[in-house]
Chain A
Amino acid sequence: MASNLSDPAFWSRLQFAFTITYHYLFPQLTMGLVWFLVYWKWRALRTGEERYNKAVRFWAKIFGLNFAVGVVTGIPMEFQFGTNWSGFSRYAAGVIGQTLAMEGMFAFFLESAFIGALIWGEKRLGPSLHFVAAVAVALGSWLSGFFILVTNAFMQHPVGYKVEPGGSLGIASLSGYLLNPWAFVEFAHNQMAALVTGSFVVASVGAFYTLRERDREQAKLYLNAGTCVALVASLLVAFPTGDQQAKMVGKHQPVTLAAMEGKFHGGSIAGVAIVGQPNVAARRLDNPMEFPGALSFLAYGHFGSYVRGLDEFPESTWPDNVELLYYSFHLMITLGTLFIVLMALANFQNWRGRLQSCSWLLWVLMLAFPFPYIANILGWMTAELGRQPWLIYGIFQTHDGYSKVVSGGNVVFTLIGCVGLYFVLGVLFLCLVGREIALGPDPVVTSKSKERELVFAET
């Protein structure tokens, strides 16, 4: 199905995949970074030390740029439920409409009311209210994540619904729907992953300034906070949240687990492939190197547990791209493991007081920041590719969900428009963030930045 380029459903899927992937590059940083702002603002209030305020002002600018691009690329997401996925909306809006509306009403209003005050309002608000604004934005962004993940969890593991007389879905139990066990595991896993992105970026800037031998006081602040949070969050992403997520998939989507692992044939003492390329036509993993029994243990708790293979399920229920799903999952796991190793090392060196002088480790920390983004996206690819061919697992197929009245031509047109516009946005974003990092938390007084200094001096 997905290989047919003349199918309008393919273009709607590609458009959604592109716009959501691009969009999620921004919220994953803001949801992680916002707690650093809260923490430093709180330290500034408690100790009165100016270095914490300086850190908040610097990171608030980077936060603001991310937030702005996140907001403008986020609005099209909600609209696409109607424009490109009207079949899905007609069928399931009785359920998912509730959480999408709650996200707007509870989370976005909270975030948007305080974001302007957080970024530009330090003078107007004063220190205590500025701290309140940071907390409000943090809560709003995490609440927004929660409602979206409840919605996604319903698509992964539908609970609390009923079929209405007209054939569409309605809510049978609101608490059942909101307290979907899948949603809690997914939320915990996803938010920890967002903290990994945020902390890697903070540590990376700290490493850059240290290597550059500039802004030493700020660099130390970023390195300490960044590496410490990164280690804790990287551990929590893997265990217990990632582990629980895999068990959830094994329990409710066994065919997805088989495809994620490239398990074409079932068996006991099932291994985790460390290397190997899925060969779907030949129904086998080429060049496999496996860790025996690991999959049985991770999915079901015993090394001897039986793990079902793809051959035990009808091929029509297989995820429609086993290869991409397999690589997404495996690369995510590999990166997640490397994050733990890297940050354990960084914290060890920091504990010994040698991180500032360990130049090769600083280089690695500085260059590591793109990888949490990649791992986050790979995780979402695993979740969404793994759900196929279903839009709502087990009850509604993706192919029934797209807007039949919208021609392929129109979708290709809007996809081209989105790609073009988002490309320009991306270039602008990178230039401006690069510029802020180059200017740094303590911009030197040059003719161009003199006025800027004056503005800060007034605070």
Chain B
Amino acid sequence: MIATWYGIVSFMLIAYVALDGRNFGIGMLQAIVARTAEERRLVIAAIGPLWSWHEVWLVGFGGTLLAVFPRIIASAFAGYYLALFLILWSLILRGISLELGGHINDHLWQSFWGFVFVVSNLLLATLFGVAAGNLMRGVPLDANGNFSLAFFTDFRVRGDVGLLDWYTVSIAAFTVLMLAAHGATYLTLKTEGAVHDRSAAWAKLLWAAVVPLFIAISLESSFVRPDLFAHAIHNPICWLGLLLLVVSIVTLISGLSTRNEKRAFVASNFLLGSILATGAGTIFPVMLYSTLNPEDSLTAYSAAASRDSLLIAFVWWPIAFVLATAYALFISRRYPGKVSVKRDTQGVY
């Protein structure tokens, strides 16, 4: 039961990263692939009517985590206090730049919000990368399940660590590149013209840059948490994740080289998902690893709500999930194919 719930919340987080991560990528790339006001509008239009639905995966993940692993929320959210508020403020800026930017047809107004949009997306990709790095490396959790994380301490990865150190910063760099590549793959699928051509070129370039960084962070992870790899060998989920990763890479390469844009984008989602799933499988059952004393780590088993609460959530969650997916499919079927500025611009241009 508890392992299933660990799987479900991991899935929700993966869905969030794949869906909203693509918007972070598009947001960062807007600075590069769009050069005129019209091209910027096209990029925004490609994000589509469902960006708010994508963002809700984060809220759904947070709510579900609170219901089934309340002690994780209590420890981690208070511990990551400053980092979380930076994420919240960046989400606010990202949301309003998207919603308000189109309200006035004026180039000063729009270039200002375009700038805010790019910066907030870059910040979000970086911060979520730092958060992922912290999850792998661990946090200074004490015996009572509490910790409080400074922005940085001595940039080392053991003992009294901070939010930023050489390891978490490199994971953040990897995340930024990877989400940019993911966004470029999607823009290639949804746009035409100059934006399409630039996106296609950037997608190839960015994916090529992701590979050496992925090898680098894998080596770094084995140095930071040597125990993880010994543990992962015995976990079939990790092997499955690796298999999926290999298949996605092959599919992505074939999609990019044969210009099968849909195939490339599907593969890009699975690639992202398989990396995260392998990561989630590797750390299981530990959800918050203590860098001070591994004995004090919070596991899925010690952090879960009571059996009754888990059972109750198990009844309603699948219904809600099916409904949520149905709504999005219903809407996205009305927005097939490439977007056009004329039809899909959000705002009063």
Contacts and interface: CB of A to CB of B under 8 A. Distances in A.
Interface in B144-162: 146-148
B91 A121 contact: no
Interface stretch (B70-78, B180-188, B217-225, B286-294): B70-78
Given A76-B88, A97-B66, A109 B327 contact: yes
Contact of B100 (A68, A87, A171): A68
Contacts of A405: 78-79, 146-148
Interface stretch (B25-33, B53-61, B265-273, B276-284): B53-61
Interface in A83-127: 83-84, 86-87, 89-90, 93-98, 100-106, 108-117, 120-121, 123-125
Given A90-B71, A124-B335, A136 B85 contact: no
Given A90-B70, A117-B331, A120-B346, A171 B324 contact: no
Given A97-B63, A452-B348, A428 B100 contact: yes
Interface stretch (B201-209, B229-237, B244-252, B314-322): B314-322
Contact of A109 (B62, B80, B89, B323): B323
Interface in B282-317: 305-306, 308-309, 312-313, 316-317
B308 A171 contact: yes
B240 interface: no
Contacts of B88: 75-76, 79
A451 B330 CA distance: 30
Contacts of A457: none
Nearest to A415: B85
B259 interface: no
A86 B100 contact: no
Contacts of B115: none
A120 B49 contact: yes
Given A101-B64, A170-B306, A174-B312, A432 B100 contact: yes
A221 interface: no
Nearest to B305: A94
Interface residues of A, number: 74
Contacts of B345: 120
A82 B77 contact: yes
Which of A105, A174, A435 is the most central at the interface, judged by chain B CB atoms within 10 Å of its CB?
A105
A112 B321 contact: no
Interface string A400-419: 00011111001001100100
A299 B52 CA distance: 44
A451 B37 CA distance: 15
Contacts of A104: 56, 59-60, 62-64
A105 B66 contact: no
Which of B74, B93, B312, B320 is the most central at the interface, judged by chain A CB atoms within 10 Å of its CB?
B74
Contacts of B92: 72-73, 75-76, 421, 425
Contacts of B93: 421
Which of A103, A110, A116, A432 is the most central at the interface, judged by chain B CB atoms within 10 Å of its CB?
A116
B312 A171 contact: yes
A105 B320 contact: yes
Interface size class of B (residues with CB under 8 A): 35 or more
Contact of B78 (A82, A93, A110, A112): A82
Contacts of A222: none
A432 B73 contact: no
Given A75-B59, A405-B78, A113 B53 contact: yes
A43 B76 CA distance: 50
B328 interface: yes
B96 A425 contact: yes
B60 A101 contact: yes
Contact of A112 (B55, B70, B96, B100): B55
A129 interface: yes
Secondary structure of the B side of the interface? Answer: helix
Contacts of B344: 120, 124
A64 interface: yes
A101 B52 contact: no
Contacts of A170: 305-306, 308-309
Contact of A113 (B321, B330, B349): B330
Which of B73, B84, B312 is the most central at the interface, judged by chain A CB atoms within 10 Å of its CB?
B73
A168 interface: yes
A280 B68 CA distance: 44
A455 interface: yes
B60 A109 contact: yes
B324 A113 contact: yes
Contacts of A116: 48-53, 331, 346
A68 B49 contact: no
A71 interface: yes
B84 A83 contact: yes
Contacts of A106: 316, 320, 323
A435 B58 CA distance: 33
Contacts of A171: 308-309, 312
B166 interface: no
B146 to A, nearest CB: 5
B119 interface: no
B85 A94 contact: no
B103 interface: yes
A108 B59 CA distance: 8
A14 interface: no
Contacts of B197: none
Contacts of A86: 73-75, 77-78
A312 interface: no
Nearest to B334: A124
A404 B75 CA distance: 11
A168 B62 CA distance: 20
A69 interface: yes
Contacts of A407: 148
B309 A94 contact: yes
Interface of B: 48-53, 55-56, 58-60, 62-64, 66-68, 70-71, 73-82, 84-85, 88-89, 91-93, 95-96, 99-100, 103-105, 146-148, 305-306, 308-309, 312-313, 316-317, 320-321, 323-324, 327-328, 330-331, 334-335, 343-349
28 contacts: A71-B55, A78-B59, A79-B84, A82-B62, A82-B78, A87-B74, A89-B77, A93-B74, A94-B306, A97-B70, A97-B73, A104-B56, A104-B62, A104-B64, A105-B64, A110-B324, A111-B52, A113-B328, A116-B49, A120-B347, A124-B335, A124-B343, A129-B334, A170-B308, A171-B312, A403-B81, A428-B96, A432-B103
> What are the 5 tightest A-B residue pairs by CB atom distance, in nearest-first order?
A82-B77, A116-B49, A93-B70, A97-B67, A105-B320
Given A90-B71, A113-B324, A405-B78, 17 more contacts: A68-B99, A86-B78, A97-B70, A101-B66, A103-B63, A105-B60, A108-B59, A113-B50, A113-B328, A113-B331, A115-B49, A116-B53, A136-B327, A170-B305, A170-B309, A417-B85, A421-B89
